[in-house]
């Protein structure tokens, strides 16, 4: 069970996930959060980049040392973290984001947050897990390659005269994460969270494109399994998509 959360902040680091990994190797206890305003080597999944311009973003990672979690169940922690980000932005600012399975939060069809979960094993068991969350907060513009599909808290709030606050967002996310993660640990799956998760799942009941290594096909998103996998329907049959196996693209715009 995640109990105490402690916060450290740095102006600039390579990647907050990498900082947590170093501390994990130094036997740091569960609950350490490292955040930074700028990352010089922010990471997305499978070797992709996460853009974190100076001071405009929240880049924040937590160290977890789950006692009883199988390596397979670790992927589900991303799904849990997505709920925490969505919940925090809604409670703080009324931003009604959708979760694009498995690791994005989107608002008005654009990505406001990405999540990267990594783990290391030791003696056949999960040694530690690091969950890294990037939220665009004050960004007004983005690099050209992502400008069409990225947004920020301030851009979303522009008409309301409100602005995001990075420390407030960081703390809200990890407090909310603690609540959802502890519910997840009670069963080791999403059974207690599935209903709430599905109520915020982007594209539920709508077409998505599944881009797997072997083939790419169109399907309808149905919901998630207790293990946090995506359920889709294609050619009249239900299929289960595991985290990391495919990339899901909405076929109408980015979502």
Task: Work out whether strand 207-211 and strand 6-13 pair parallel, antiparallel, or are unpaired.
Answer: unpaired
What is the rounded CA–CA span in Å between residue 164 and residue 155?
A: 10
**Binders in 145-164 for ligand BT5, by CB under 6 A:** 146, 150
- 108 with 253: CB under 8 angstroms? no
Q: Does 51 bind ligand BT5 (CB under 6 A)?
A: yes
- Between 98 and 137, how does the x/- string for binding to ligand BT5 read (CB under 6 A)? -----xx------x--xxx---------------xxx-x-
Paired strand residues for 133: 60, 115
Of 56-64, 86-94, 166-174, 179-187, the segment contacting ligand BT5 by CB under 6 A is 56-64
Q: CB 12 → ligand BT5: shortest distance, Å?
A: 13
Token reading at 142: 């983005």
Q: Does 39 bind ligand BT5 (CB under 6 A)?
A: yes
Q: Which residues does 232 contact at the CB level (< 8 Å), separation at least 6?
A: 208, 210, 219, 220, 221, 222, 238, 239, 241
What is the rounded CA–CA span in Å between residue 62 and residue 20?
A: 7
Q: How many residues bind ligand BT5 (CB under 6 A)?
A: 27
CA 33 and chain centroid, separation: 15
Q: Does 166 bind ligand BT5 (CB under 6 A)?
A: no
- 224 with 194: CB under 8 angstroms? yes
Closer residue to ligand BT5 (CB): 93 or 101: 101
Q: CB 68 → ligand BT5: shortest distance, Å?
A: 25
Q: Does 43 bind ligand BT5 (CB under 6 A)?
A: yes
**Binders in 2-21 for ligand BT5, by CB under 6 A:** 15-17
Q: Which residues in this chain contact ligand BT5 in the complex, by CB under 6 A?
A: 15-17, 39, 42-45, 48-51, 59-61, 103-104, 111, 114-116, 132-134, 136, 146, 150
């Amino acid at each position: 069970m995640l109990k105490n959360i402690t916060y450290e902040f740095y102006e600039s680091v390579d990647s907050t996930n990498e900082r947590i990994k170093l501390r994990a190797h130094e036997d740091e206890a569960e609950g350490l959060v490292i955040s930074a305003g700028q990352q010089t080597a922010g990471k997305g999944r499978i070797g992709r980049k996460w853009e974190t311009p100076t001071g405009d973003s929240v880049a924040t990672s937590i160290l977890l040392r789950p006692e009883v979690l199988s390596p397979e169940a670790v992927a589900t922690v991303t799904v849990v973290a997505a709920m925490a980000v969505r919940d925090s932005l809604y409670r703080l600012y009324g931003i009604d984001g959708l979760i694009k399975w498995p690791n994005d939060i989107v608002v008005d069809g654009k990505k406001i947050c990405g999540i990267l979960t990594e783990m290391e094993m030791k003696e056949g068991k999960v040694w530690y897990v690091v969950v890294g969350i990037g939220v665009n907060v004050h960004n007004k513009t983005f690099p050209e390659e992502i400008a069409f599909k990225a947004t920020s808290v301030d851009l979303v709030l522009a008409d309301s005269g409100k602005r995001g606050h990075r420390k407030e967002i960081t703390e809200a996310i990890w407090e909310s994460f603690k609540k959802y993660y502890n519910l997840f640990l009670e069963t080791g799956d999403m059974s207690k969270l599935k209903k709430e998760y599905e109520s915020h799942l982007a594209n539920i009941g709508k077409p998505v494109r599944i881009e797997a290594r072997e083939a790419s096909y169109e399907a309808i998103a149905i919901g998630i399994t207790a293990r946090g996998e995506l359920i889709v329907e294609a050619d009249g049959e239900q299929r289960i998509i595991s985290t990391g196996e495919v990339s899901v693209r909405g076929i109408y715009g980015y979502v």
